Amino acid sequence: MPVRAEQAIAAFLSKMREGLGERGRPNVASIWYAKRHDDSFLEAPWCDMRVTWAAHHSGNYDAVCFGTDYAYTVAHASAFERRGRWTSGTDGIRPGDVIFFDWNGRGSIGGIDHVGVVEKALAGGRVQTIEGNTSDALQRKVRSPSVITGYGRPDWGRAGGGEITLQKGDSGPLVSALQQDLLKVGQKLPQWGADGDFGDETVAAVKAFQQSSGFTGRDLDGVAGPKTRAALDKALKR
């Protein structure tokens, strides 16, 4: 698998794990979704809103959602099917795939009840998933093929879209790439280097970069959001 795809999957899964155990409504995903569309989504079933939120916040919005916000699982599965990225059942399933369930086991897209993301493919077609709105919480589950309608394979080659925000506590390849970029533009990470963990040293380096880029006030926050990312991309081109 291309490195870019591996990084995209790691980032997507990292955002799905974020907030494991979050319970109730409204929640991070439904508030974000409602702000983009309608307050009615605040208290609505949120399993697919959580997938859309994770895709958007990991830079995989185009790969997972094809530029559309999804709350309705059937519409999301249909979008995968229209693009030739739908597989019925679990053959070939792997981490990062968007998995759709039908509690009545009818096997058709029209019967889909629920959605999650595959974290691990297990033996016998079983999968371990992360799912929002399971007992109104974000949880890890183990699922049998008997309730799996199929899965959508995100178009990792189209990874991009959405807004990635990296901050203290984040880790993984996206953080490592950020740290390498900070070093390229002259910032210092003397103790830990580009280790992939967003700790105090990285916060300080981001703040120093923000200051050198003319950021002031609340923008001097040590968080690598879209504005900081844009400034960093500009600095890298100099």
Partner 1 sequence: MDGDGVTHEGEGEERYVPGPQEDLSQAEQLRHLTDTGARSAEATEADEEDVLRDLYGEPDEDGIYRGDGG
What does the per-residue mask of binding to partner 1 show for 92-111, with x meaning CB under 8 A?
---------x-xx-x-xxxx
- Does 114 bind partner 1 (CB under 8 A)? Our answer is yes
Residue 135 to residue 109: CA distance in whole angstroms? 23
Phi, psi of 211 (to 5 degrees): -65, -45
Residue 116 to residue 216: CA distance in whole angstroms? 40
Instruction: Give the CA distances from residue 201 to residues 169, 220, 237, in Å, rounded to whole numbers and listed in that order.
Output: 12, 15, 24
Omega within 30 of 0 (cis) for the link into 45: no
What does the per-residue mask of binding to partner 1 show for 124-163, with x meaning CB under 8 A?
--x-x--x-xxxxx-xxxxxx-xx----------------
Of the pair 9, 47, the CB lying nearest partner 1 is at 47
- Does 44 bind partner 1 (CB under 8 A)? Our answer is yes
Choose among 65, 76, 55, 42: nearest CA to 13: 55
- Does 236 bind partner 1 (CB under 8 A)? Our answer is no
CA atoms within 13 A on the CB side of 154: 35
User: For partner 1, which stretch binds (CB under 8 A), given 1-9, 37-45, 85-93, 173-181?
Assistant: 37-45
Of the pair 42, 189, the CB lying nearest partner 1 is at 42
- Site size for partner 1, by CB under 8 A? 50
Least distance CB 238 / partner 1 (angstroms):
38
Neighbours of 76 (CB within 10 A): 26
Residue entry with tokens 């795809």: 5
Least distance CB 21 / partner 1 (angstroms):
4
Q: Would you tell me which residues interact with partner 1 (CB under 8 A)?
A: 20-21, 23, 37-38, 40-41, 44-45, 47, 68-72, 74-75, 78-79, 82, 101, 103-104, 106, 108-114, 119-120, 122, 126, 128, 131, 133-137, 139-144, 146-147
